[in-house]
Amino acid sequence: MASKKNHDPSACARYEKATELLGKRWTGMLVRTLLDGPRRYGELAAASDISDRVLSERLKELETEGLLARSVDPGPPVRVSYALTKKGEGLWKVVEEIGKWADRWLDGERES
Amino acid sequence: MASKKNHDPSACARYEKATELLGKRWTGMLVRTLLDGPRRYGELAAASDISDRVLSERLKELETEGLLARSVDPGPPVRVSYALTKKGEGLWKVVEEIGKWADRWLDGERES
């Protein structure tokens, strides 16, 4: 079946993994925000109406995926901040192209 | 809160919508396949181990979102085929950048 198609199954699997990662709610927002530089937890929380539980979960996931790094300044006061890793920064072009497409096609939902 | 951030909430909403669309399982695969040209239902089914139920659902969703168009050749035999709309074709650059990122960062899971 798949062998009839001129494609690379491992590339497809990587692609699926990448889109699933990017497609999780708030991932895009967090990556976009952090592309401007590191942010403290409170700043990320203030940037949207995302709940603390969901924000913490999503940050943890992105850290596990190696997209961002968490650092703790022992203070006082203790300050937790997040920055993109090289892998996370590598998404800037993807983020830009998604933004362009969304501006073109999802603004007022023009259909072709 | 959000007003402190230098961002456009409606652009963020569009961006979220775009990434959620792209992040749904099989969306990427279907868009990538259709970027090479229209395909019949059976060809899409053969290109992966996706179940008929899930494939039909995903095609329906993508049609509803205006990313692809379904056409029926009454035959006989009846042939249903799918092609990207302009809106769907507009994703080629996004798809390319995701592919590049995935090849660079998800191949063997190199971490930074």
- Which among A98, A104, A109 is the top mutation candidate for probing chain B, defined by the most B β-carbons within 10 Å of its own β-carbon? A98
| pLDDT confidence bin for B24, thresholds 50/70/90 | confident
Give the closest of B1, B102, B107 to A46, CB-based: B1
Q: What is the CATH number of the domain that holds A51?
A: 1.10.10.10
Q: What DSSP designation does A37 have?
A: -
Q: ipTM score here? A: 0.78
Tell whether A22 is covered by a domain: no
User: Cβ contact (<8 Å) for B32 and A14?
Assistant: no
Q: Look at residue B6 in the predicted model and tell me its pLDDT.
A: 47
CA B16 – CA B102 distance, rounded (Å) = 20
| Of A53-62, A102-111, B3-12, B83-92, the least confident | B3-12
Tell whether B53 is covered by a domain: yes
Q: How far apart are the first and last CA of chain A?
A: 33
Distance from CA of A77 to the nearest CA of B (A): 22
Residue whose tokens read 């592309």: A35
Tell whether A70 is covered by a domain: yes
pLDDT digits (tens, 9 = 90+) for B37-89: 999 998 888 877 788 898 999 999 999 999 999 999 888 888 899 999 999 99
Distance from CA of A7 to the nearest CA of B (A): 9
- Which among A31, A63, A106, A111 is the top mutation candidate for probing chain B, defined by the most B β-carbons within 10 Å of its own β-carbon? A106
Tell whether A12 is covered by a domain: no
Give the closest of A11, A12, A98 to B18, CB-based: A98
Cβ atoms of residues A61 and A20 within 8 Å:
no
Tell whether B35 is covered by a domain: yes
Domain limits at B31? 26-105
Size of chain B, expressed as the number of residues it contains: 112
User: Cβ contact (<8 Å) for A97 and B101?
Assistant: no
| Measured CA angle at A93 (ends A91, A98), to 5 deg | 95
| B58 three-state secondary structure | helix
Identify which has the larger pLDDT, A35 or A11.
A35
Average pLDDT over residues A55-67: 92
What is the rounded radius of gyration, in angstroms, for the C-alpha atoms of chain B? 17
Q: Look at residue A110 in the predicted model and tell me its pLDDT.
A: 46
| pLDDT confidence bin for B109, thresholds 50/70/90 | low
| pLDDT confidence bin for A3, thresholds 50/70/90 | very low
Average pLDDT over residues A14-34: 80
Closest CA to A79 of A91, A71, A90: A71
Give the closest of A5, A29, A109 to B12, CB-based: A29
The first and second tokens of residue A76, run together, are 């006082």
CA B109 – CA B112 distance, rounded (Å) = 10
Tell whether B77 is covered by a domain: yes
Tell whether A90 is covered by a domain: yes
Average pLDDT over residues A6-32: 75
pLDDT digits (tens, 9 = 90+) for A69-88: 999 988 888 889 999 999 99
CA B9 – CA A29 distance, rounded (Å) = 11
User: Cβ contact (<8 Å) for A98 and B15?
Assistant: yes
CA A1 – CA B20 distance, rounded (Å) = 29
User: Cβ contact (<8 Å) for A14 and B106?
Assistant: yes
Q: Look at residue B3 in the predicted model and tell me its pLDDT.
A: 37
Amino acid at B97: E
**Chain B residue nearest residue A32, CA to CA:** B12
CA A33 – CA A12 distance, rounded (Å) = 28
User: How many structural domains comprise chain A?
Assistant: 1
User: Cβ contact (<8 Å) for A22 and B25?
Assistant: no
* Residue A38 clears pLDDT 60, i.e. is over it: yes
* Residue A112 clears pLDDT 60, i.e. is over it: no
Tell whether B67 is covered by a domain: yes
Q: Look at residue A7 in the predicted model and tell me its pLDDT.
A: 56
Contacts of A9 in chain B (CB under 8 A): none
